[in-house]
């Protein structure tokens, strides 16, 4: 052949770090759940037909896909040298063509077309028919092995372990490898968000407030804490999977492992199922009432991820209820009855914190120039959310003040009058949270902020000291 050899590039896991079919299926579940139920029927018609039907119903944003930057740089260099580059992929043409049009570096696209699944041997036959025995190829999985074995210059992009081992076994020499991904373990840790586990410390609160610390109760509540952490991480993973497309448009969330392509959807589903199973196995050793709380929590987080988070005001009420549910679960694990005062206080306080989370999201969106915030809230809702949230926060202070004035408090706090010192501390902290949110200086999660902010921790320490001297 005269001139440079044609360069053929795979798409899924190669040019882009994600699997476009998996992401499209997740988007279908999110936007057309009734149609997603037909996926098994479509699959019976063949994988190529499945890809065509899914692509006809949803479309990924080619401009914000997680491209392999090192490979893309090489392809652009080759294009400038006059080389012909072909996108050769098992993905359906409905998604491959928009990606090729967006990048503007490909001579042509060879892809699945609804009848032919352009992978493995079918891809090799198609490339030989088009180019003869002389072509270069970039792939990443075992499905590319036969094509790599017949390529004049085989190259890899983010190859998986099994492919590398099979290449060594067959003594296939790879000329170039384009790596662009974070370490797997680091990505998994980031995906499960261990920093969010701090919220589950709330399960210890009923035991502490009951003033009946027992070794067995501490062990049971610790197990309850672990169960909630596992269930919460599973819900975060599932939520990220369903929000992949939206997260890629967000300046910070686009760096999350699934949106960035550092972890695949299959890995995410596996993590979620494993964590949920482990959580309920642990709950088996705790009281049935705790298991009920964990079931409600898991079901509520699933419903929130699929539907409720898009419902204005309902979403914040659900978030606040999930915080209160942690208290109920902690009480169930420790065999401690939750005081109506604590329940009422937590409802108002956590509703305020859920409101400030949405308020901060809107505030940050306005600062960054976004005019169409997600989750159904509008920029004009900012002041209304501020009034709702601050009123709810101060209502929590009122409930606490009424509790101090009641006869119930004397049983646990003989010097209950000293508890009034907590009131100005609460007013200070709630007012400060909303003040920082109004300035755009608050992390979008107020609970995480409270557990990492030095002044918030100092305020909490002072509250604890006042409670001790009141005993």
Q: Do 149 and 223 fall within a single domain?
A: no
How many structural domains are present in the chain?
A: 3
Which pLDDT score, from 0 to 100, does residue 1 have? 44
CA-based angle 169:172:173, to the nearest 5?
125
Q: Do 282 and 375 fall within a single domain?
A: no
Nearest to 159 by CA among 178, 146, 134, 184: 178
Residue listed under structure tokens 């009920």: 292
Q: Do 150 and 17 fall within a single domain?
A: yes
| Distance (Å) of CA 446 to CA 210, 332, 412, 443 | 26, 26, 29, 6
Q: Do 161 and 262 fall within a single domain?
A: no
Residue 168's Cβ-count burial label (10 Å; 0-12, 13-18, 19+) is exposed
Judging by DSSP bridges, how do beta strands 136-139 and 7-9 pair with one another? parallel
In which order are the strands placed within the sheet that holds 85-92? 108-112, 85-92, 7-9, 136-139, 153-157, 176-178
pLDDT digits (tens, 9 = 90+) for 18-30: 999 999 999 999 8
Q: Which two tokens stand for residue 189?
A: 């840790």
Position 444 in a domain: yes
Domain that holds residue 284: 185-338
Low-confidence ranges of the chain (pLDDT < 70): 1-3, 369-375, 444
Q: In this structure, what CATH number is given to the domain that contains residue 229?
A: 1.10.357.140
Kindly state the DSSP code that residue 257 receives in the 8-state scheme: T
Single pTM value for the model: 0.86
Contact yes or no for 281/250 (Cβ under 8 A): no
Position 95 in a domain: yes
Nearest to 23 by CA among 54, 49, 63, 69: 54
Neighbouring-strand partners of residue 86: 8, 108
Position 353 in a domain: no
Task: Write a three-state SS string for 402-454.
Answer: HHHHCCHHHHHCCCHHHHHHHHHHHHHHHHHHHHHHHHCCCCCCHHHHHHHCH
Position 345 in a domain: no
pLDDT digits (tens, 9 = 90+) for 247-275: 998 888 899 999 999 999 999 999 999 99
């Amino acid at each position: 052949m005269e001139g440079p050899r044609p360069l053929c590039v795979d798409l899924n896991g190669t040019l882009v770090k994600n699997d476009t079919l998996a992401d499209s299926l997740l988007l279908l579940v999110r936007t057309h759940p009734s149609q997603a139920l037909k996926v098994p029927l479509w699959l019976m018609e063949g994988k190529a037909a499945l890809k065509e039907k899914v692509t006809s119903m949803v479309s990924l944003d080619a401009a914000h896909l997680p491209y392999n930057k090192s490979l893309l740089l090489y392809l652009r260099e080759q294009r400038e040298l006059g080389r012909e580059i072909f996108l050769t992929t098992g993905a359906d043409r409905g998604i491959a063509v928009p990606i090729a049009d967006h990048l503007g570096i490909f001579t042509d696209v060879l892809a699945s077309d609804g009848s032919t699944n352009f992978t493995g041997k079918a891809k090799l036959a198609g490339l030989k028919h088009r180019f003869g025995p002389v072509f270069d190829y970039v792939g990443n999985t075992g499905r590319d092995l036969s094509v790599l074995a017949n390529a004049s210059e085989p190259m890899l992009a983010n190859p998986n372990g099994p492919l590398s081992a099979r290449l060594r076994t067959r003594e296939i020499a790879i000329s170039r490898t384009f790596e662009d991904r974070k370490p797997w373990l680091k990505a998994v840790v980031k995906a499960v968000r261990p920093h969010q586990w701090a919220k589950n410390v709330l399960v210890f609160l009923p035991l502490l407030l009951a003033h009946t610390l027992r070794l067995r109760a501490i062990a049971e509540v610790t197990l309850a804490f672990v169960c909630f952490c596992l269930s919460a991480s599973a819900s975060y993973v599932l939520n990220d999977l369903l929000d992949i497309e939206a997260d890629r448009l967000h300046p910070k969330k686009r760096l999350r492992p699934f949106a960035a392509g550092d972890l695949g959807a299959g890995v995410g589903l596996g993590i979620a199922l494993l964590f949920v199973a482990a959580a309920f196995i642990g709950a088996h050793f705790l009281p049935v009432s705790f298991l009920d709380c964990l079931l409600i929590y898991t079901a509520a987080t699933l419903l929130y991820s699929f539907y409720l988070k898009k419902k204005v005001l309902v979403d914040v009420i659900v978030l606040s209820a999930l915080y209160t549910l942690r208290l109920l679960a902690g009480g169930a694990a420790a065999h401690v009855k939750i005081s109506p005062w604590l329940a009422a206080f937590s409802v108002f306080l956590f509703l305020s914190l859920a409101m400030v989370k949405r308020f901060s999201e809107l505030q940050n969106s306005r600062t960054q120039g976004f005019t169409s915030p997600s989750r159904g809230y509008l920029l004009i809702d900012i002041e209304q959310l501020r009034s709702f949230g601050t009123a709810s926060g101060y209502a929590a202070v009122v409930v606490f003040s009424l509790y101090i004035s009641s006869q119930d408090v004397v049983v646990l706090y003989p010097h209950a009058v000293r508890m009034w010192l907590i009131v100005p501390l609460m007013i200070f902290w709630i007012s400060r949270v909303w003040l920082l949110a109004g300035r755009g200086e608050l992390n979008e999660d107020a609970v995480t902020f409270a557990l990492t902010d030095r002044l918030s921790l100092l305020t909490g320490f002072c509250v604890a000291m006042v409670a001790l001297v009141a005993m």
